[in-house]
Chains A and B, each alone.
Chain A
Amino acid sequence: MSDALLTLGGVHTHIGAYHILHGVDLAVPKGRLTMLLGRNGAGKTTTLRTVMGLWHASQGRVHFAGQDITKLTTPQIADLGIAYVPETMGIFADLTVKENMLLAARAARRAQDMDDTRLKWIFKLFPAVEKFWNHPAGKLSGGQKQMLAVSRAIVEPRQLLIVDEPSKGLAPAIINNMIDAFAELKASGVTILLVEQNIHFAQRLGDHVAVMDNGRVVHAGTMAAFSADPQLQQSLLGLAL
């Protein structure tokens, strides 16, 4: 795919003695939202962690914006403009919401140095972040923590946003709020790669889809085509949208 911002070619990843990824080929188009789907244990989270350099590929290459990032360290990869929200959300529980945001705003030394316009935009997307600004992040609910995790990822302009299961464990009302927020993020031109188990979440947001099984991408295409093919969904995911 020529307009791909992120590409993985034949990526293998080992974790200790375990061979998790068996040659992942994936292209994430620029300015679009790509959904990475698959059953539990298919290798989705490992793929994201390999992109971020948290685990290194033992074989194959990862390219971002034309640059080979396979051997770069995690901070070097983040410096290129990739934001990552892990499945655990990675919230610093002992820090306040403000301190969590300040840490992600790398150029700011104090809260007053953060980009005010961008903060207002984030507060509009996620009002809970403003409401609980001075509260310990560890005391937030699961949904509020997820909002903070995504807010932290977008507090600085980034080229690529990688989010691992943003709807996991959230109430339906919060999921709808998340969908609206990601739709607005997508409209702002950010390239997004989402791992998701909630198929309705995926269907409502995704432009493209890649399905993983046994450490490989077994299907890639548009979400519209995937949604229109119940047989394909049944064979790849064991369900129909």
Chain B
Amino acid sequence: MKTLDFDWKPLLLVPVLALLALPLVGSTSTWLTLTVAGLAMGMIVFIIASGLTLVFGLMDVLNFGHGVFIALGAFVATSVLAAMGDWTQSQSILTNLVAVLPAMLVAMLVAGAVGLAFERFIVRPVYGQHLKQILITMGGMIIGEEIIKVIWGPAQIPLPLPEGLRGSWLLGDAAIEKYRVLAVIVGAVVFALLAWTLARTKIGLLIRAGVQDREMVESLGYRIRVLFIGIFVAGSALAGLGGVMWGLYQQNVIPQMGAQVNVLIFIVIIIGGLGSTTGALIGALLVGLMANYTGFIAPKVALFSNIALMVAILLWRPQGVYPVAGSR
């Protein structure tokens, strides 16, 4: 019996996909640009999806309204960054980050607070009832979108990158966009914090145990609903952060942006294995890379490519790349 029994195979999927794409893309510099773009997109999608996968894993709750927190975070960022015009127009990356950081924090706070109300009034009445969860959370997202339209208006709002984060660094012939590097760094920090919390703290232990067998966790004396509320709020806040990142990535925001990203994040958590944070990271990176490579190589199949990726992964591992052991 091995003490360390980690399954490394799924981790290899990311470099394998990247290497398979290299001959199809042709140019190494283009491939490098696409790879960094794919990793950046993947990290942003991971930030958004990480909370959703834990919400499902812990309480078996299908939250189709997760997208509303993405849109909310992005719209809050438009207001915060607009109010910090002097900071965003500076050429200094450091000064720009001083503006982006409060935008992220405010977006997380607002999304987390709305998440608390969403859990209390929309999700809690339908615990254990999947069909009702799907319907009511989708309804919640529609209401959320309408409230966003009331506050910020129905039109698309530009969310330009701060001056210092525009443009690219050149690595040989390859252009590496500065903002994409920032997105990769933020995603890596979020993953590191999540991984540390899950592996090294008692709260993390409770979450991992709750994902496997919540009834047993309650039998040990822990109030799992309190834990779930905390996870829901944290997941909503992370979606808000992801919304800021996604809005800056797209450089504009629309009230329906959450619904658009929803499809991607559900593909990610299904590929990853429902309830698995590491699986969500692998799934998000694969989805990000696939979207960028196919967008370049064969734009007509770009929309279909991630569905095909999910089907291929599920044929290999029907429970996702890191299925969560449990009694369910």
Contacts and interface: CB of A to CB of B under 8 A. Distances in A.
Contacts of A134: 3
Interface in A108-143: 109-110, 132, 134-136, 138-139
Given A75-B222, A78-B221, A109-B202, A90 B1 contact: no
Contacts of A94: 208, 212, 324-325
A73 B202 CA distance: 22
A112 to B, nearest CB: 13
Contacts, number: 71
Given A75-B221, A94-B325, A139-B1, A103 B206 contact: yes
B155 to A, nearest CB: 47
B220 A106 contact: yes
A95 B220 contact: no
Contacts of A139: 1, 5
B5 A136 contact: yes
B325 A138 contact: yes
A79 B1 CA distance: 35
Residue of A54, A79, A90, A102 with highest tally of chain B CB at under 10 A: A90
Contacts of B324: 94
B200 to A, nearest CB: 9
A89 to B, nearest CB: 9
Interface in A174-201: none
B3 A54 contact: no
B124 interface: no
Q: How large is the interface on A (under 10, 10 to 19, 20 to 34, 35 or more residues)?
A: 20 to 34
A223 to B, nearest CB: 27
Nearest to B220: A104
Interface string A47-67: 000001010000000000000
Given A90-B213, A95-B208, A54 B219 contact: yes
Per DSSP, chain A at the interface is: loop
Contacts of A54: 215, 218-219
A93 B212 contact: yes
B116 to A, nearest CB: 21
Contact of B205 (A73, A99, A132, A135): A99
Contacts of A104: 220
A90 B216 contact: yes
B327 A106 contact: no
Contact of A106 (B3, B215, B221): B221
Given A86-B216, A99-B205, 7 more contacts: A52-B219, A78-B220, A78-B221, A90-B219, A93-B212, A94-B324, A103-B202
Interface of B: 1-3, 5, 202, 205-206, 208-209, 212-213, 215-224, 324-327
12 contacts: A54-B218, A74-B218, A84-B219, A88-B327, A90-B327, A92-B213, A92-B216, A103-B217, A106-B222, A132-B1, A135-B3, A139-B1
